[in-house]
Chain A
Amino acid sequence: MRKTKINRRTVLRGLGGAVVALPLLDCMLNEHGTAFAQSTSALPKRYAIVFAGQALGGDDYAHDQQKVNGTNLTQAGHYIVPPQSGAGYDITTPLRPLAKLQNDFTLVSGMRIPYSLTSADPADVPPGGAFRDFHGGGASPLLSGMRSVTSNFTARGITSDQVIANLNQGQTALPSIVLRAQPSFYLSGYSFAGRHRMSFAGDNDPIEAQDSPATAYQSIFGNFMPSDAAARAAFDFNQRARRSVLDLITSKRKRVLDSVGAADRARLQRHFDEIRDLETRISQMPMSGGACARPADPGVDPGIGGDNAGSGSDVIATSTGYSGEHERARVMADLIHMAFVCDLTRAATLQITTFQSHMNVFPLASYLDSPVALSREIRADLHEVGHNGDAEFRGQLPVSLMLQWHLSHYAYLIDKLKSTSEGAGTLLDSSALVFMPEAGHGRHLNSPSDTAPRTHSVEDMVLLVAGSAGGLKPGKHVATSGAHPAQCLLSAMQGAGFAGDTLGEVTGSLPELFG
């Protein structure tokens, strides 16, 4: 390996003197490729969450029950959780995209968010628990380990990705990357109202996701210097121009803020702060060394689909309610992968679909790998798939196929990280990647006395954790008996370097993930 004297602590002076951390270059590594050359500190650890806005099963259908092609079918193997625990379990339908990566992730099942069986009073929500209204009530404990006390979609404390971002404060150019593939709510007459947020710096303090692949590309990789000279001149010109353009704005900050009333000042100050942050990030990052390279320009974003025409099988249209989420998620996974390769950030979230997602699933037909031949596309929006929205396709299999589609993006990201060498191993060796579905499948949170299995449940929840950062030992199915999902997050966070053992109101990681 080529060795030059660049210290990891070297920082880049931006044009205005701002300091920016360098991307990770091979030349910064030691002889063995296991640590930084100058400091002998360990390689950076990365943490990501890939989120799916759906449950694990359909309303009123047992895990071996489904209606397929209009006919009821009893058949096991479609529910995500296999009957065996430990290594070498059967690959279930949702896990098919991960079949070749079975040794690279752990499936953690049997988790639940606590709640009161006897009271729907907010005062009776237990620590780390869920307010008894599924839509909204499940979000905060899942994301932050903090109990919810209303049905608002929010987190009442810092989320796991931001804990990792804080851990690496100042070490990378970007503290975290927060992306969302689903850009529109699609439900006529309504808007997201918080369903589109999953990253929080603190109590009800959301980090807004970027939903444009093109803008995400520019904001993450726009500071990388092109290699050829002609392009370099244009790049240099544009970077100076960007800074001058923003300078004209930031230079009037005080004058504007001093001239307005208190309410305006609070709002505008926030805006000016964010502009200053953007300006600080403008720099000229070298791009040499190993796998770190500017990814392909994703080009213009796929168009935004209109609101769904109907939500169920007889009326859903083929063309609305979908904005190319498949392509968007792919690009976003590419961006996260390369941001990790270049060590531009160590914390990322990819919300493929939002909480209570009304994305039309019709256009996903060609991406599904169904063990049972389907006579036609599944016609419903994602939320209604769980609620039996398609008269011909109901129960476990259709829900599992949607989960499989989400997992295909997770598998894609794992595979890319595994295919990228870093030092003596691969990037996956220093990653902890969580896959997080919105819900489990079991007792209805709103109405737990009703015991038929429901989508709106925080029982029997599942998370996946891929990678072997920090001693994580992937390659098995860990069946817990009611662990809190935040305990699983804690394990992944510890793999990514978190020294604590508490997230929100939940304490104690799961030792099985390391054993």
Chain B
Amino acid sequence: MLSALGCSTGHVGDPKTGLSAGRRGGGSGDGAELGADGGAVVDGGAQSGPYVGSASAARRLSRAELDNTLSDLLGDDTAPASRLLAEDLFAPYDNDYPTQRASGALIDSLETLAANVAPRIAHDKTLRKKLVSCTPSSASDASCFSMVVQDFTRRAFRRPVTKTETDAYMSLLAFATESNDFYTGVELLIRSVLQDPEFLYRIERGTKTSDAQLFDLNDHELAVRLSYLLWGSTPDAALDADADAGHLHDAGMRVAIAKRMLEDPRARTQLHRFHAMWLGYRAIPQTPALAAAFSRETSALIDRVVFDEPQDYLNVFTFDQTYLDDTLADHYGLPRPSGGKGWVSYGKSGRAGILSQGAVLSAFGKFSDTSPTQRGIFVRTRLLCEQLMPPPPNVMADKPPAGSGNAVCKYDRYAEHRSNASCAGCHSLTDGIGFGLENYGLAGVYRTHDDGHPECTIAGKGEILGVGTFSGPAELGKLLVDQNLVQACIVQQFLRFAIGRAPEGNELDALSALSDDFGAAKHELAKLILSYIESDAFARRLEPK
């Protein structure tokens, strides 16, 4: 029986070349097996030519962004959006706005959300201090309510508000008077603002430039871009003050502010989230305890390489230490750290870098086991940004390959992927990579033979076709770095996350420039982020014709 990853080699770029038209599929690997989302694509698309700005469309806050925002804005740490709204469609990032679509169900759920959050905040003496700085003299204290309205709408809409706008909310004071409770007015204010598109969406207007299609974003809009990119949340008071002072449209000052924001713990959390979605380990098939331990391990590596000891980001693929506690060390069969938790050297274990870690090795399994094909797809689509076409319809990919005769060992069961020419075209691109990681099981534990089959010794030899051979994650990581295969893709993944959809048109042209900057900056990830933030393109939006 065929179990195939189908694709036409014509759709897969040569891994050795740089970006090309054939490699525009950054992160769309999900489509390779599970099909693209049927949601309407709203965006008009970017255009070819120099990268002067990205076309955009109002992006609705994802559940995670909404929860972060509610936490920062109101002190609500109960993650109500994740409890009450429908799942985001990850593609692979949660902020992919073409997958978002307003619906009656969403509107109902948002009313539920607002009705859930507002009373918990408004009628809690401690929590409401974030909103109400005055002491109301009566239930219908208009001046106090007006202060609350002005302050809250300013922060929630993430821009200055006019008196006409804030005056409208004074009508809610009638409900406070009727119920003889000032905080009923506050509750309804929250309820209204939380259902307001100007809160739920990031709306960018900007000022038209001499080019009719190009708009300069204003300082507050730039503050919002910065905060949702770097923190996945709303601007704080310091950033608001910078926007009010007009600092953000100046590229140099913008970078200085962004550097300050990267010092904030929220920047780390956001970068962890980005990696988890990019590398597919945001939800892995492990117990919650093991998944959490894996996540701590991987986050520690990201923190060290990006923040604590800023260095060549590509080191995440070759790093010779990992952060473990005793339990995780035992799990891997690595030496325990001194003091119960800490950095442990990989030594000659054959492991190095993020590809050795349980989080990444747990992702992209299939049939309750590692899948050489899926791991190959992972490397091709997520790390090399290649696009693989889905299997041709006449093959079935929902059962493990059986192989011919009485094949038992996995390598033999996958033989047809190699021997049948119609399979091999694509599987030679993927399976070769996956078999080089086969010694590392679905939970990241080293194994010498197939699970349950001692007679099936795993050779563990892998190959990136046309690039070179390797054995195990340390050698794979080294190969990817030495052959300069991942630099451009990292930039592409970052840009996709930043603009909320796959780069296209002039954005693809910009990737090579950004990628050059990344190389020139010795691949420091923070510098890549800052050079993007510094660019004119970050500070503008494009209105398609």
Contacts and interface: CB of A to CB of B under 8 A. Distances in A.
Q: Do A and B come from one complex?
A: yes
Interface of A: 59, 120, 131-137, 151-154, 178, 183-185, 188-194, 197, 204, 206-212, 214-216, 218-219, 237, 240-242, 244-246, 248-249, 251-252, 256, 259-264, 266-268, 270-275, 277-278, 301, 304, 306-312, 314-317, 320, 383, 387, 389, 444, 446-447, 450, 456
Interface stretch (B198-206, B320-328, B344-352): B198-206
Contact of B86 (A211, A260, A275, A317): A211
13 contacts: A120-B393, A120-B394, A152-B38, A191-B91, A194-B37, A210-B108, A211-B86, A212-B112, A215-B112, A241-B175, A252-B168, A262-B44, A263-B55
A306 B192 CA distance: 32
A468 to B, nearest CB: 31
A263 B197 contact: no
B150 interface: no
Nearest to A242: B111
Contacts of A188: 280, 283-285, 362-363, 365
Contacts of B280: 188-189
Contacts of A252: 165, 168, 196, 198
Contacts, number: 244
Nearest to B451: A314
Contacts of A178: 105
A188 B33 CA distance: 13
A223 to B, nearest CB: 12
A267 B86 CA distance: 18
B35 to A, nearest CB: 5
A152 B203 contact: no
Contacts of A204: 38, 40
Given A59-B399, A193-B89, A263-B44, A310 B368 contact: yes
Contact of A274 (B103, B169, B390): B103
B168 A251 contact: yes
Contacts of B111: 218-219, 242, 278
A135 B34 CA distance: 8
A193 B30 contact: yes
B285 A191 contact: no
B30 A190 contact: yes
A137 to B, nearest CB: 7
A256 B107 contact: no
Contact of A248 (B101, B107, B169, B215): B169
A447 B89 contact: no
Of the candidates A246, A308, A316, the one having the most CB atoms from chain B within 10 angstroms of its own CB is A246
B287 A317 contact: yes
A248 B172 CA distance: 9
A274 B172 CA distance: 23
Contact of A214 (B112, B215, B367, B398): B112
B196 to A, nearest CB: 5
A206 to B, nearest CB: 7
B1 A450 contact: yes
B42 A267 contact: yes
A277 B102 CA distance: 12
Given A218-B108, A218-B112, A307-B284, 18 more contacts: A59-B399, A183-B86, A189-B283, A191-B88, A206-B38, A208-B86, A219-B111, A245-B188, A263-B544, A264-B56, A264-B201, A272-B197, A274-B103, A275-B195, A278-B107, A278-B108, A304-B82, A312-B367
A209 B2 CA distance: 36
Contacts of A308: 285
B179 interface: yes
A184 B107 contact: no
B405 interface: no
A245 to B, nearest CB: 4
Contact of A207 (B37, B91, B104, B108): B104
A462 to B, nearest CB: 21
Nearest to A122: B393
Interface in B84-117: 84, 86-92, 100-109, 111-112, 114
B288 interface: yes
Interface in B159-209: 165, 168-169, 171-172, 175, 178-179, 188, 191-192, 195-198, 200-201, 203-205
Contacts of A132: 393-394
Nearest to A314: B368
- Pairs of residues from A and B, 10 with the lowest C-beta to C-beta distance, nearest first: A208-B103, A263-B57, A194-B38, A154-B38, A307-B283, A271-B102, A312-B368, A133-B393, A274-B107, A245-B192
B363 to A, nearest CB: 5
Interface in B6-52: 30, 34-40, 42-44
Given A153-B38, A245-B192, A256-B203, A264 B57 contact: yes
B392 interface: yes
B269 interface: no
B393 A274 contact: no
Contact of A262 (B112, B114, B283, B544): B544
B203 A264 contact: yes
Contact of A271 (B2, B105, B175, B197): B197
Contacts of B196: 248-249, 252
A245 B184 CA distance: 12
Nearest to B396: A446
Contacts of A137: 393
A155 to B, nearest CB: 9
Given A210-B108, A446-B393, A193 B179 contact: no
Nearest to B202: A264
A241 to B, nearest CB: 6
A311 B285 CA distance: 9
A270 B102 contact: yes
A263 B43 contact: yes
Contacts of B253: none
Interface in B395-439: 395-396, 398-399
Contacts of A197: 38
B58 interface: yes
B531 interface: no
B517 interface: no
A191 B195 contact: no
Given A266-B57, A307-B284, A274 B368 contact: no
Nearest to A174: B104
A268 B90 contact: no
Contact of B394 (A248, A273, A446): A446
B543 interface: yes
A271 to B, nearest CB: 4
B234 to A, nearest CB: 19
Contacts of B392: 120
A183 B108 contact: no
A238 to B, nearest CB: 9
Interface string B107-130: 111011010000000000000000
A222 B426 CA distance: 55
A385 B339 CA distance: 45
Contacts of A260: 58, 203, 205
A282 B48 CA distance: 48
B285 A315 contact: yes
B364 interface: yes
A278 B197 contact: no
Given A260-B203, A262-B544, A387-B399, A212 B109 contact: yes
Contacts of B395: 446-447
Contacts of B447: none
A208 B101 contact: yes
Interface in B273-290: 280-288
Contact of A193 (B34, B368, B543): B34
A273 B90 CA distance: 25
Contacts of B390: 133, 151
B86 A310 contact: no
Given A188-B283, A248-B192, A183 B396 contact: no
A444 B188 contact: no
A266 B44 CA distance: 11
Contact of B101 (A256, A270, A314, A320): A270
B83 interface: yes
